[in-house]
Structure 1
Amino acid sequence: MPAPATATQPAVPAKPKRRLWPLLLILVVVLAGAGGGGWWWWQGRQQADAEATPAKPARLPAQYVALEPSFVVNLADDDAVRYLQADVQLVTRDPATLKALETHGPSIRNRLLLLFGQQQSRQLAQRAGKERLQQAARDEVRALLKAEGEPDKVEAVIFTSLVTQ
């Protein structure tokens, strides 16, 4: 029978304590490697997404089509004979629309002459009236081009001169 344990002698021989620092070092290395690998994967993914996204095409410069000669029409005033003289230019950035504007120039002039002849001088006295006329003229041009089966990307109708008398 083994001798009973005394206060000076332990009953079971003591095992040497394991040191924690090698285990912690391995854990830190593994976590750092996983973090670095995750960062590397994320950067590669971001670069692949940036390459896959198509770049926006550069915006084409505005092209202006002058409708020559100046428009001169009688206004629709009842109280007196009044005239409108306007120099008009059409604005587009689309080459196909530019070609269509040149092709259908006579029809566009006709539509705009009819539109301008329906105006009254009091409507055109204020800026808002002139801006409404510009929008109506743009809509007329677009409608004509659409009816002809042409591209209708007309951005604006601008007046380079507008005189009422």
Structure 2
Amino acid sequence: MAAKEKAAAEKPAGGGGKKLLIPVVGGVVLAAGIGAGLAWYLSGKAETPEAGAEVPAESAKAPAEAGPATYIALEPAFVVNLADPGGDRYLQVEVQLMTRKAGLEEKLGLHMPVIRNRLLLLFSQQTVDGVRTREAKEALQEQALKEVQAVLTEATGEAGVDALYFTSFVTQ
């Protein structure tokens, strides 16, 4: 028994931990590799449609000249009286447009009075209850985008604006 205690005392503490560390690290690296490979495989499958599959309209109409996104602030902020029958209510909203078309800023500047007019009319038709929920704000956002695109399509023949964002939205 004394020999066993002597042998145990001579062994360095934690020596067995190194033997356990190698398989654990190897397992972690293997799991990460499998996860990365699976993610790559699945993302590749999602992007390439099968032969004979219908291509969604959005990906089919991707313009060849699509560049980086550009954000254009419509300044100053829109401040309107809301159409609430119960009293004076106000809406203040800051709007930014996103486009990938080069040179659209000049066209927007040229037609800004019409765009601001259409958006002011749209915003002033709202009620405080009508813009309280997220869904209502998203619906208003979609309507505002359609107004801007309609003005640009009428004036230039193409919509040019990909998205409209509210960067500030205050009702009072």
Q: TM-score, normalised by structure 2?
A: 0.60
* Root-mean-square deviation over aligned CA pairs: 1.7
Conserved in 2, the CA contact under 8 Å of 1:92 and 1:98?
A: no
Q: Could you say which residue in structure 1 is the equivalent of 2:145?
A: 138
Q: Could you say which residue in structure 2 is the equivalent of 1:76?
A: 83
Conserved in 1, the CA contact under 8 Å of 2:82 and 2:126?
A: yes
Alignment partners' CA distance in 2, 1:148 and 1:59: 21
The reply to whether residue 91 of structure 1 matches residue 98 of structure 2 is yes
Change (3 A) 1:141 1:105: same
Alignment partners' CA distance in 1, 2:108 and 2:161: 9
Q: Which runs of 5+ in 2 are unaligned?
A: 1-62
Alignment partners' CA distance in 1, 2:99 and 2:136: 23
What fraction of aligned residue pairs are identical, expressed as a percent?
Answer: 50
Alignment partners' CA distance in 1, 2:89 and 2:136: 16
1:95 aligns to what SS in structure 2? coil
Conserved in 1, the CA contact under 8 Å of 2:78 and 2:94?
A: yes
Q: Which runs of 5+ in 1 are unaligned?
A: 1-55
- Deviation of 1:149 after TM superposition, in Å, equals 2.7
Change (3 A) 1:108 1:119: same
The total of aligned residue pairs comes to: 110
Alignment partners' CA distance in 2, 1:99 and 1:58: 17
Output the amino acid matched with 1:60. G
The reply to whether residue 127 of structure 1 matches residue 134 of structure 2 is yes
Output the amino acid matched with 1:123. G
Output the amino acid matched with 1:67. L
The reply to whether residue 153 of structure 1 matches residue 160 of structure 2 is yes
Output the amino acid matched with 1:141. V
- Deviation of 1:57 after TM superposition, in Å, equals 5.5
Alignment partners' CA distance in 2, 1:117 and 1:57: 38
Alignment partners' CA distance in 1, 2:65 and 2:113: 32
- Over 6 Å off, 4+ runs: none
Q: Could you say which residue in structure 1 is the equivalent of 2:122?
A: 115
Larger Rg belongs to: 1
Conserved in 2, the CA contact under 8 Å of 1:97 and 1:152?
A: no
Conserved in 1, the CA contact under 8 Å of 2:152 and 2:160?
A: no
Conserved in 2, the CA contact under 8 Å of 1:66 and 1:90?
A: yes
2:156 aligns to what SS in structure 1? coil
Conserved in 1, the CA contact under 8 Å of 2:90 and 2:171?
A: yes
